[in-house]
């Protein structure tokens, strides 16, 4: 909505000013979420929307900026230019009309100490962009980073690993994700909750066994039953973890389950919604453990929450084997970049190998904690095979007592813009994930 249509909203130049600072922080290596915490509460929702939209188009914006100014400007100026160009380079999906974005970006440059001295330069670059937009965009079309808005190494890796549908995965990554809820079966069925939403005038559809996807995202304060624990926000792919671990054990009580790397607690809660079990939820970060506790409190569920390193069980394990272990291992998060668009620009190609080593260590360390006949779900929110299929095959080669059971394997994010399902994808709209289910034999 143009600024003039909603006088209650903060001025756009203020949002662009804050957004440029967030973008500069991401380019300096900070996470977008961390950088957004420094933005005033009154600005944060609008700034987040603008920054996330810009991060999904940053490759194009950087290519355009190079045409407009071959010599890279200072970080604050470059961030403001790239933010404006990312939001204005095409009319489709733009939050504001191009001239409005340019005018307000120039106003932001004039009012910001770090950019004021180069406000005329910002003005000249962006005015030229408005005059020559079609030609400038056409010049960048041949650049893969501009075309796909991912780092070159990322594009090349997907081309190699997914030769038939790498384009669809990249396109899906650049789309805004839906808001999907997980219905708590202890408080009613999916059908009952869909009826509640319909009565409230909220359009939604079923997504998977326990999921409901809203036609339009809402603040959690406006979601019926959220505060009372009737639903939780969780992507449809993440909702597969708990049922996969518990399948065939329906109605079995007294299970002893470890949720390693558990924060923020969505999968821990799902396990407890589905089974009367003794669950240990582990995470290395104390603050993130508090998020697990908050999640469980809202849902009226209980688990033993421990702040500890899953890779050092000698510091926290009581010696009693677990019937089931959920290892949602640290990974590149390459499967959730539509939800966290900063990830693609923060990751480096070398991160994959480093994280694969960590994943292998966690698998080998936690496997002895599993009772014979027990199960371990290994999952990552990654689309790279080194963090999924290749990791599990290497583990199986060195652990003859492990047996691979049927599981989803690699899930690719969402669908193409034309609505065609990505090859090997499930029919629902979800993030990218990998799932393996391992059973421990007696040997």
Catalytic residue annotation? 381
> For residue 192, what is the enclosing H or E element?
helix 190-199
Give the three-class secondary structure for 87: helix
Q: Determine the 3-state secondary structure of 219 from DSSP.
A: coil
Q: Do the Cβ atoms of 425 and 412 come closer than 8 Å?
A: yes
H-state helical runs in 112-165: 119-140, 144-148, 152-161
Q: Are strands 255-260 and 322-328 parallel, antiparallel or unpaired?
A: parallel
Residue 205, φ and ψ in degrees, nearest 5: -140, 155
Give the Cα separation of 206 and 212 in Å (integer).
5
Nearest to residue 155, comparing CAs of 297, 347, 15?
Answer: 347
C-beta neighbour count of 313 within 10 angstroms: 18
- Tell me if 413 sits within 8 A of 173, measured CB to CB: yes
The answer to whether residues 183 and 211 touch, using CB atoms and an 8 Å cutoff, is yes
Give the Cβ contact number of residue 126 at 10 Å: 24
Q: What span, in angstroms and rounded, lies between the C-alpha atoms of 5 and 317?
A: 59
The rounded distance, in Å, linking the Cα atoms of 167 and 129 is 28
Closest C-alpha among 92, 88, 90 to residue 80: 88
Q: In what order do the strands lie in the sheet with 322-328?
A: 304-307, 277-283, 255-260, 322-328, 370-380, 433-440, 402-411
């Amino acid at each position: 909505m143009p600024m003039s249509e909603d006088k209650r909203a903060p001025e756009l130049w203020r949002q662009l000013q804050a957004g440029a600072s967030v973008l500069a922080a991401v380019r300096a290596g900070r996470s977008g979420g961390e950088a957004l915490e420094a933005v005033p509460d009154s600005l944060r929702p609008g700034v987040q929307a603008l920054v996330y939209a810009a991060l999904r188009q940053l490759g194009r914006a950087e290519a355009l900026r190079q045409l407009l100014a071959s010599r890279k400007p200072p970080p604050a100026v470059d961030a403001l230019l790239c933010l404006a160009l990312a939001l204005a380079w095409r009319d489709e999906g733009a939050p504001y009309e191009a001239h409005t974005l340019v005018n307000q970006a120039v106003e932001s440059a004039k009012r910001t100490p770090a950019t004021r001295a180069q406000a005329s330069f910002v003005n000249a670059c962006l005015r030229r962009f408005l005059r020559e937009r079609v030609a400038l965009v056409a010049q960048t079309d041949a650049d893969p980073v501009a075309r796909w808005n991912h780092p070159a190494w990322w594009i090349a890796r997907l081309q190699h690993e997914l030769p038939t549908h790498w384009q669809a995965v990249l396109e899906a990554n650049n789309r805004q994700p839906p808001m999907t809820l997980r219905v708590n079966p202890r408080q009613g069925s999916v059908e009952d909750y869909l009826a509640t939403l319909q009565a409230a005038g909220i359009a939604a559809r079923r997504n998977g066994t326990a999921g409901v996807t809203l036609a339009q995202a809402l603040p959690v304060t406006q979601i019926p039953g959220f505060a009372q624990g009737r639903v939780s926000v969780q992507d449809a792919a993440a909702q597969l973890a708990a049922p996969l671990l518990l399948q065939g054990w329906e109605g079995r009580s007294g299970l002893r389950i470890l949720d390693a790397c558990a924060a923020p607690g969505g999968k821990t809660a799902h396990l407890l919604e589905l089974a009367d079990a003794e669950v240990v939820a582990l995470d290395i970060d104390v603050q993130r453990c508090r998020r697990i506790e908050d999640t469980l409190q809202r849902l009226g569920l209980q688990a033993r929450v421990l702040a500890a390193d899953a890779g050092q069980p000698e510091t926290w394990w009581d010696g009693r084997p677990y019937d089931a272990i959920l290892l949602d291992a640290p990974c590149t998060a390459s499967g959730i970049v539509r939800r966290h668009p900063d990830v693609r620009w923060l990751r480096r190609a070398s991160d994959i190998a480093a994280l694969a080593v960590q994943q292998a260590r966690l698998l080998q360390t936690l496997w002895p904690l599993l009772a014979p006949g027990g199960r371990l779900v290994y999952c990552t929110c990654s689309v790279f095979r080194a963090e999924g299929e290749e990791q599990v095959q290497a583990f199986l080669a060195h652990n003859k007592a492990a047996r691979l059971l049927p599981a989803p394997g690699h899930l690719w994010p969402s669908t193409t813009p034309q609505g065609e399902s990505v090859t090997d994808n499930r029919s629902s709209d979800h993030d990218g994930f990998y799932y393996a289910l391992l059973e421990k034999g007696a040997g």
